Every structure is written in C-alpha cells, then in structure tokens.
Amino acid sequence: MYIQYVGFNVAGSSRVYNYDVLDIKERREFTVKVQSEAFRPARLELQDGPSICFDRVKRELGAETEESRAEANLSIGERDIDEYLERQYPRKSLAKKAASGR
C-alpha cells in the first residue's frame, strides 16, 4: 500500500489535506481536516500539516478490517495534536519552543 500526499485546500476556518491510497486492488481518496486555529505558537506549524494528517490516514488504515473500513473523511482533534507533538518534539523541545514564543 502506498499513501500519497496530493495537496490541501483552505475551506473556511480549516485546511483540508488530500491523500490518495494506492493498493493492488483499488485506489482510495482520503481527506483530513485541521482547524486553522491549531496552527498557532507552541502548537502546530504549517509544515506539520501534511505529516500529522499522513499519520492519521496511516493509523486509520492500520486499524481497518474487512468488516470495518477506514472513513474517507477524517479530522484532527486536540488529542491527535498532543500525541503528534509528543512524538515529533519531545517534552524538552516543547518547553524550549514555548519559552521562545514559537
């Protein structure tokens, strides 16, 4: 299976990231919505958008079964953001980032 980032659109107060999932059997399209307010100092940077959304698509695909397929339209919540920041920027880095105002 191959997950390909296609791009994003700005829709109202959010960014919607688009992905194609290519498999031997089929091609599927996924969208992941992130509220614009998530991109603020000491939270997500714009560059984090494609990565956090890719992680979400990958997680959903990994959890699907024959009976329960992944939803095509996903969204990023506060819990997703917290988990992503913890993985990408360990606590020590987050403290420095917050102190510097970034």
Domain layout of the chain by residue ranges: 2-99
Q: What's the pTM value of the predicted model, to 2 decimals?
A: 0.84
Candidates 68, 62, 53, 69; CA nearest to 19 is 53
Q: Average the pLDDT over 48-52 and give the result.
A: 97
100: number of Cβ within 10 Å: 9
Is 70 exceeded by the pLDDT of residue 100? Answer: no
pLDDT in tens, 57-82: 999 999 999 899 999 999 999 999 99
In this structure, of 8-22, 36-50, 54-68, 83-97, the range with the lowest mean pLDDT score is: 83-97
Q: What is the pLDDT of residue 38?
A: 95
